[in-house]
Amino acid sequence: MSLTLTLALLAAAVALVFFAGWRGSRPSQPHLGVRMIPWRLVMVLGGAMVLVLAVHVAALLGMPQATR
């Protein structure tokens, strides 16, 4: 995967994390019905995707790996 595509996916994942965090922090409104999307789970999965993509960007830039 190229650096440009990885950075674009990283930006989209960060935006998803912030959007899901905002939606998950809103108070529930039971009179409107049940929430159908688990926003906190979406936020955690997006955060995991951000971590994986950040490591991939570091590998593409040639950062040294941590070894024992």
How far is the C-alpha of 55 from the C-alpha of 57, rounded, in Å? 5
pLDDT at 4 over 90: yes
Question: For the chain, what is the mean pLDDT?
Answer: 91
Are 6 and 60 a contacting pair, CB within 8 Å? Answer: yes
Q: How far apart are CA 57 and CA 12, in angstroms?
A: 14
Q: Which two tokens stand for residue 9?
A: 């996916």
In this model, does residue 64 exceed pLDDT 80?
Answer: no
Q: 3-state DSSP call for residue 68?
A: coil
User: How distant is the alpha carbon of residue 61 from its chain centre?
Assistant: 21
Least confident range of 2-6, 18-22, 45-49, 60-64: 60-64
Q: How confident is the model at residue 68 (pLDDT cuts 50, 70, 90)?
A: low
